Structure 1
């Protein structure tokens, strides 16, 4: 613009031009200002518009940048562009579980095939629920009764293979007593046959033990009876000795040589010699 045209401008025009120039400078300055995320995206930031490192604030392990405008901007970690997504190994991809085929057992009673039953799960006895007879052949027996009736020991129940399974129940006679161990009656009978080899051997052993038990009872009875008799005899003997009183009577014998008197008990003939003053 020439000097003549500049001098011909009015004061209002000059103010308008100056305002437009300042607005253009401010717009240019705003375009040059980089976003705080510019560094995170790998872009360079002009030195005059970069945010100072001292404006980073750490809150609960997370870093924030003070924008200066009254709010905080979360600082993102720089991603290394050299790190590319690795290809997924097909061998590492988990495969879906293959369904396991159901195993069926043959019922010992009816011969039908079944997959699940109470006796199978509890006692490992292959009988289906339809053939289960709780009050008959599939009844339960306590551990004490099994040992007494079938002459079994603890090792026969706990250590001999296969170890018999049992269920625990509270004692119906007294809840404060220990829990009862209930076994399957049929399995106890089978275990007794394994131990004694035959039912006849088991019966003979039970009879032999019963005879020994009766002999022991008779011996204990005779011994106790003898002790009672000895107690009675000793009490009578002691009572006779302690409660006896001499009956001297009126007969006295005088010995002139020794000047003594002698008297005799009328009951036990005991003689007593004494002097008279």
Structure 2
């Protein structure tokens, strides 16, 4: 036993005194065959990765059309995505998104060409009314005379000044407007805002004078009142017909006889009775 222990102590470790870090710092040079094997393995890994990332064979049909791979479920068209699930046909082939409209910023006005403000006669280089409505008014005067240079919606412009769509969109010179999100319901889309001063000028251009505009207002009010009266009369007539139809019940059955007193015939041993409303008579025997 003592000899075995001495033999065990005399065994020396194969790792150098510098440790594993020093051994890893000086790796043995690779042979040409080993480098070729590493390159082949790398190329094979790249091919496998490209095969996994490659399109599904049905993807080309998905891009070109959905024939043969469409499933109808309760009226909806579902397309096999090739990944183990179905998607909506519209989601599988989405329409290209429209590019966002670009806003054109006007170039700065030269000092010699700057218009004078209609209220204070100061040169206006840039302001909200100048940039949006081509109205020579500075921002300070705009705030001071906010009611005069107020904005109106398209509906208000048509109702207050009796204007049509063609008067706002087609008649020269075209009215300028700005778009804002509808505060009442964003799903209604953008609303158009016009400068009230320019809308009033357009109304005078269309109707000629303020007196004619007032007369058009009166005619419109009369037409609306007439429409209300006609609608009320139709409603009253419908109610009268409904009341009459509920009171009057049409008889769909035949005539029901109302018999008087029966008369006995001793010779024939029969009884006879006659309807009080018609000449019908009935003869019968009694057991």
TM-score (norm 1): 0.55
> Residue 224 in 1 paired to residue 235 in 2?
yes
Q: For 2:261 and 2:284, locate their aligned partners in 1 and report how far apart those are by CA, in whole Å.
A: 12
Aligned residue in 1 for 2:284: 276
> Residue 117 in 1 paired to residue 117 in 2?
no
Residue pair 2:150, 2:196 contacting (<8 A) in 1 also:
yes
Q: For 1:125 and 1:138, locate their aligned partners in 2 and report how far apart those are by CA, in whole Å.
A: 10
Residue pair 1:110, 1:131 contacting (<8 A) in 2 also:
yes
TM-score (norm 2): 0.53
The alignment of Structure 1 onto Structure 2 pairs a total of residues equal to: 173
Residues 213-236 of structure 1, C-alpha deviation per residue, up to 9 Å, x if partnerless?
A: 111211121122112111211122
Q: For 1:198 and 1:205, locate their aligned partners in 2 and report how far apart those are by CA, in whole Å.
A: 11
Across the aligned residues of Structure 1 and Structure 2, the Cα RMSD in angstroms comes to 3.2
Give the CA deviation at 1:259.
7.4
> Residue 262 in 1 paired to residue 274 in 2?
yes
Residues 27-54 of structure 1, C-alpha deviation per residue, up to 9 Å, x if partnerless?
A: xxxxxxxxxxxxxxxxxxxxxxxxxxxx
Structure 2 CA distance for partners of 1:120 and 1:157, relative to 1, 3 Å: same
The 5 Å alignment of 1:1-277 reads: 101-102=110-111, 103-133=113-143, 135-238=146-249, 241=251, 248=258, 251-252=260-261, 254=263, 260-264=272-276, 273-277=281-285
Q: For 2:131 and 2:141, locate their aligned partners in 1 and report how far apart those are by CA, in whole Å.
A: 15
Structure 2 CA distance for partners of 1:157 and 1:255, relative to 1, 3 Å: farther
Residue pair 1:105, 1:113 contacting (<8 A) in 2 also:
yes
Q: For 1:219 and 1:128, locate their aligned partners in 2 and report how far apart those are by CA, in whole Å.
A: 51
Residue pair 2:109, 2:125 contacting (<8 A) in 1 also:
no
Q: For 2:168 and 2:109, locate their aligned partners in 1 and report how far apart those are by CA, in whole Å.
A: 34
Q: For 1:184 and 1:201, locate their aligned partners in 2 and report how far apart those are by CA, in whole Å.
A: 22
Give the CA deviation at 1:271.
7.0
**Larger Rg, first or second structure (1 or 2):** 1
Q: For 2:146 and 2:253, locate their aligned partners in 1 and report how far apart those are by CA, in whole Å.
A: 70
Q: For 1:182 and 1:117, locate their aligned partners in 2 and report how far apart those are by CA, in whole Å.
A: 17
